Amino acid sequence: MDEPFELKEMPERHALVIHRTVTMAQLPQVIGESYHVLADYLGQLGAQLSDVPYTAYLNMDMASLNVEMGFPVDSLLPDNDPIQAVTLPAGLVVSGLYKGPYAGMESFYKSMTEWVGQRHLVPTGIYYEYYYNSPQEVPESELLTRIEWPVTKLANGPEA
């Protein structure tokens, strides 16, 4: 059976982002609005995405989520309030591809957490969800989301 997750070294990457603090109920609308603002700005710059759009979850407080909606790009581009240009650091990530409705992701996250723990990895606490399609394009059962979770290895832990 194939492993559902993989540990990989990611290079430094650039992105244009919008930071927001929202409730879980506000999240879908805020993601959509932010992606439109980011897409408009990319168009103004004549730039292209280097990967699919993402949302980073900087905390897991469902009443006050600190999130970053991002568009990966090839180079550091200029800021344009509320848009910031950022560099995502290089490092180890645990990555997995989830297929299905967003509402069903909890068990996938639980499995990822167990996988990380079994390998004595230490998570950073930030989750990145990369969206390959949207509910406006495909049925919920066909949604594809790559989840990346930056981690570090324990100094005295076994190799992952």
pTM of the model: 0.91
Q: In this model, does residue 157 exceed pLDDT 60?
A: no
Question: Does 47 map to a domain?
Answer: yes
The per-residue pLDDT for range 12-69, each reduced to its tens digit, is: 999 999 999 999 899 999 999 999 999 999 999 999 999 999 999 998 888 899 999 9
C-alpha dist (Å) from residue 44 to 18, 53, 54, 117: 17, 17, 20, 44
The enclosing H or E element of 46 equals none
Please give the share of the chain, as a percent, with pLDDT higher than 90: 85
Question: Does 13 map to a domain?
Answer: yes
Question: Does 158 map to a domain?
Answer: no
Question: Does 98 map to a domain?
Answer: yes
For residue 158, what pLDDT band results from cuts at 50, 70 and 90? low
AA letter at 150:
P
Question: Does 131 map to a domain?
Answer: yes
The per-residue pLDDT for range 81-120, each reduced to its tens digit, is: 999 999 999 999 999 999 999 989 999 999 999 999 999 9
Question: Does 149 map to a domain?
Answer: yes
Which CATH number does the domain housing residue 145 bear? 3.20.80.10
Domain housing 120? 5-153
Q: In this model, does residue 1 exceed pLDDT 50?
A: no
Nearest to 95 by CA among 119, 65, 116, 68: 116
Question: Does 159 map to a domain?
Answer: no
Q: Is residue 38 within 8 Å of 18, Cβ to Cβ? A: yes
Q: In this model, does residue 8 exceed pLDDT 70?
A: yes
For residue 156, what pLDDT band results from cuts at 50, 70 and 90? low
Question: Does 127 map to a domain?
Answer: yes
Domain count across the chain? 1
